[in-house]
Structure formats: structure tokens, C-alpha cells
Chains A and B, each alone.
Chain A
Amino acid sequence: MLTYLLKRLGLVVPIALAVSAVCFSLVYLAPGDPLSAIVPSDASVELIDQLKKEYGLDKPIPVQYALWLGRATVGDLGTSIATGRPVASEIGKAIGNTLVLAFAACLVGFTLGAVFGTIAGYFNGSWVDKTVSAISVAGVSVPHYWLGMVLVIVFSVILGWLPAMGAGPGGSGEWRWDAEHLKHIILPAITLSVIPTGIITRTVRALVADVLSKEFVTALVAKGLSQGAVFFHVVKNIAPTALAVMGVQLGYLMGGSILVETVFSWPGTGFLLNTAIFQRDIPLLQGTILVLAMFFVALNLLVDIVQTGLDPRIRRA
């Protein structure tokens, strides 16, 4: 297990470096000089040169990347052009909200996905199975930002049961575990959960149907085991793969929540990205993308390790 761990960690380092390089290069994708956003158009050549030196833009690109990476590893992601505050502290404030939303959506998505998928797998081919399959196709095909709007129309505009936007009363930017804040998270969490619900339903359904067709299950039934005990064996067999899919979905939710956060004005990283895009605030864009991508890489690593821990067959392969 230790050699496996070391090997897997060794694989993650080049990926993480490459991801950081992609994030770094975003500056060069942006049209115009990286300085153009902060320098007034009538600035003198001397001033521009001086600023270039200050920002390290006079050095060759690989050196710039190394310096940027060095600063990023100690938590210095530069200064936001729009607000003038450090990017790291802006992200620090927002990422908690995104995490809370992503976890809430996972809770909904994983529960529904596991239940639907198991039922459909047990009734493979019946009308129950077909209904569940239809739900899961709809879940992955629905434009979730639109679903968010529809939920707002139904539950906020027409019924008036739930708030339409923000993370708390009065546009509160900070998450707290109280009834008011929980009311605000319901709609965005449900909206964000449709994709994982669809994907996990599909995965669990296929896994359950596959395990049920295995000979060992027939043997267990023939041995006289109760339904519940057989079910326990099925769960044990599908758990590693199902958990892996769920873990990866959590990562997708964290990175993919920008559209839902926009619909609900949720004060998370999606909101930051939105600001960054419209203020042409490249350091903020770069920093947020880097942090979210690193979360995704780390989560994938964690999923792999946990899955290997649970299922020794993977290690031998």
C-alpha cells in the first residue's frame, strides 16, 4: 500500500504542475498586454516600464511562471485589479460558500442517485427501471441554470415559499447554520444536484444489475441467505466504484457551480469568476481557477486512494 501511495503521489505532481501552467497561461490568452487593465491608456513609456519591472513582466516567461508558482505555493495569488485586495483572501471568503453549496448538492444527489439506481438495478427491465432511466437522462440533459430559474418561478414567485437569491437574509455574504440560511440553500442545492443525481443513478443502476447477474449472488440465494443479507453483499461489491464516481462528482460540482451561483446570486467562487470576467480581472480569474482545479486534482487523488483502500483488486492490477 505504501509503494502504491508513493507512486500515486508521484503521478499527481506533474499533473498539478501542468494544471498550474495552464492557469498561468490564461494571462497570455487574454487580449492585450497584461498591464493594459491597470495602466491608463495615456501613461508614459517610463511608467509602463517601471510597472513592468514591479510586476516582473520584464523577465522571460518561464521565469515569470516560476516566480508566480513560488508565490502561489505560499498563498500569494496576487492582487485583484477590481477590488485592490489580495486574491487569496477574496477566494478564502468565497470558497466556503461554494463548498457548503457543493456538499448540500452532493447530499441530495448521492442519496437520490443511490436510491433510484439501486431500485432500477433490482427491477432491471421493468417499468420502474424505465422511469428511473428517463429521470436520469433528463437529469443530465437539463440546462441546470434554466432549471434553477424554473424552481425560482415556482417556489419563490408563484408560491412564495423560498427566497430567490443570496445565501442568507439581506444578501448576507456569510454562511451560518441557521434556519434562514438553510432556507436559502434549498433551491440552489436542488438545482445543482440534478447532474450528479442523473450520473450516479446511471452508474449505480448498471453496477447493481451487473452484480445481481453474477454467479456468487445466485449461490448466496441458493445457500438460503435472506434478501437483506444478499443486499449487503451487493452493496459491498458496488461501494468502491460508486464512491469513486461520487467523489469525482463533488469535484465537478465545485468547479461547475458558476452557472447556478449566477442564477441564485450565491456569494461563492462562481460569483467571483463572474466578477473577474466582467471586470477583466485576470489575477482574480487565474487564482480562482487555480484553486478550484487544485481542489479537483486533490479530490481525484483522494478518491483513488480511498477506492484502492476499499478494493484490494485495484492495487494488484
Chain B
Amino acid sequence: MSAVTLDGGAPVGTPAKTVGYWAGVGRRLRRDKVALACAIVLVAIVLAAIFAPLVAPVDPTKGSILKRLMPIGTPGHLLGTDELGRDMLSRLIFGGRLSLMMGIAPVFFALFVGSLLGIVAGFVGGRVNTAIMRTVDVFFAFPSVLLAVAISGALGAGIANAMLALTIVFVPPIARVAESVTTQVRGLDFVEAARASGAGAWTIIRVHILGNVLGPIFVYATSLVSVSMILAAGLSFLGLGTRPPDPEWGLMLNTLRTAIYTQPWVAALPGVMIFMVSISFNLLSDGLRSAMDVQR
């Protein structure tokens, strides 16, 4: 980046119709059909989960022994019933509440902690950088699934424990990305110029660093949500997340495993939801990356 292009390409004198950066990103995203479709799917699933009591046809925890494992398309039970005779459609809608929270919240927490660590390491440099980044390296020595299982296995089953374990899994990769973009931005001329004109460290971070590093870090974090959804549901699948009878996609998948010989397609339904959310986040993240013009 040279000083000349910083002045902008618009010739002086013409009343430039300026479009803000975020407006541009929004416009590019709307043109990206795949990203738009994914965003619509996600918004629909999230809204259904939030307004579950209004959307779901029946109570997701109420079962009937007489109506166990009804097939997809049963009148009154559009997506069939589970092994305890509970309505699958209602359980899938309500299940989104816990599943989405368990998948998204850890990335959100990790985004906060990881960015803080990475930006401090990148901006301060020197020994602080070494101390933070070498500690982060240790967690890279574990495959992510193994680390999540180890921590939540040791802590014991529970939603909070599973979410804590996943947060610990995602802090190191986010910190690494944050550190590398901060180091890059810190070396740019405009930061040097700000320092030369007497700006303090805090002002430089707030005005010059944050605005340039948060975008790439955020885009990277959105790509982690996809993995996080799979891992969170996976922990529940192993029995490390929520407990019955709360509806949650991973746990539903586990308890329905006994039903694969009687109602195989009903048993596979919760996984379809996990897959849909995961792939939508993945594609939306790709779209966001190109719309925001982030290289990585």
C-alpha cells in the first residue's frame, strides 16, 4: 500500500458518490446467490428456534407410548415421532435452541479472548508475543476433536462444560490469526505515521489497528462456526453435552441410533439439521470472505 493510493482513485473536484465499506460488502453479499441462500436458511432456522413455542406444532417433551417411531408423513406428525413417541418436527425446532447456542457461543467467546490475546501479542511484540504465542502453540499439538473430548470428558457432562471445552479449542486458532494480521498492520506506513505524529499506543490500537484487523479475524471466526456446530453436536452425541429429555440435535441423533432398524430416515433427521447449519455457515463465510476482500 503506497501513500498515493490512500488518497483514493476519485479525481479531485468530481462530486464522488461515496459508498461506505460496509454498504459495499452488503451489496456484494446480496449479489452472491449462494451466500444469500445460506443466509436465508440460517435466518429461518434461527428464527424458528427463537420463536419455537409459537412455531412448533406440539410440546417437544410430551410423548405417547402408542405413537412411538411413526414414519415421516404421519398425519399430525409431519416428520414422524421418536423412540418415546415425541413429535420429531417440534423436537427439531426446539432442538435448534440448544444446538445453535452450543455451536455459536463458544466461537463468540473464543473470538473475544483469542482476538485480545492475538492483538496484544501482535502489537506489543517481543517477549509478550513469545509468551502468548508459544502457549498457543501447545494447544495446536492436540487434534481439535481430541482436545474438546479431553477437556469436556475430564470436566464431566454438561452444556456449560462442553461450551467451555469448545471455547478452549477455538481460542488458539483465533489468537494465531489475530496475531498475524496485527503484526502485518503494525508494520504498515500509516501506523508509523501515527506514531511519528505523537499518537499513544492506545489511540493507535483503537483508531488504526482495530479497524483493520477485526474484519479478517471476524471472517475467520465465522468459518469456525461450521466446525463448532459439528463438534458441539458431537460432544452431545457422545453424551457429554445436554441431558435428556431436552431436545438437542446431537443427543437426538444418539438416542435415535437404536431406531435405525425400524425408522431409519426418522433417525437420520437431526443430522440433516446439523449438516444444513454447518454447510450454510461454511458457504456464508466463504461469501463474506470474498465480499470483504479478505485474503487468507
Contact = CB atoms under 8 A, between A and B. Distances in A.
Interface of A: 14-16, 18-19, 22-23, 26-27, 29-31, 137-138, 140-147, 149-150, 152-153, 157-158, 251-252, 254-256, 258-259, 262-263, 273-274, 276-278, 280, 282, 285, 289, 292-293, 296-297, 300
Interface stretch (B41-49, B194-202, B232-240): B232-240
Contacts of A256: 143-146
Contacts of A280: 156
Contacts, number: 136
Contact of B143 (A22, A254, A273): A254
A269 B230 CA distance: 20
B138 A15 contact: yes
A137 B279 contact: yes
Contacts of A30: 154-156
B257 interface: yes
A144 B230 CA distance: 8
A262 B143 contact: no
Given A142-B278, A143-B234, A146-B275, A259 B154 contact: no
Given A146-B253, A289-B150, 8 more contacts: A26-B150, A31-B155, A149-B267, A150-B271, A152-B260, A153-B267, A262-B237, A277-B240
Contact of A146 (B143, B155, B274, B286): B274
A8 to B, nearest CB: 14
A19 B145 contact: no
Contacts of A144: 230
14 contacts: A19-B138, A19-B141, A26-B151, A142-B230, A143-B229, A143-B233, A145-B271, A146-B268, A149-B257, A153-B265, A277-B149, A277-B240, A285-B150, A297-B141
A278 B275 CA distance: 27
Interface of B: 134, 137-139, 141-146, 149-151, 153-156, 226, 229-230, 233-234, 237-240, 253, 257, 260-261, 264-265, 267-268, 270-272, 274-275, 278-279, 281-283, 286
A296 B260 contact: no
A141 B143 contact: no
A285 B151 CA distance: 10
Contact of B141 (A18, A259, A262): A18
Given A137-B279, A145-B234, A146-B268, A258 B274 contact: no
Given A143-B230, A259-B237, A274-B238, A293 B146 contact: yes
Nearest to A28: B154
A149 B271 contact: yes
Contacts of A18: 138, 141
Tell which of A29, A274, A285 has the most Cβ of chain B within 10 Å: A29
B34 to A, nearest CB: 10
B268 A149 contact: yes
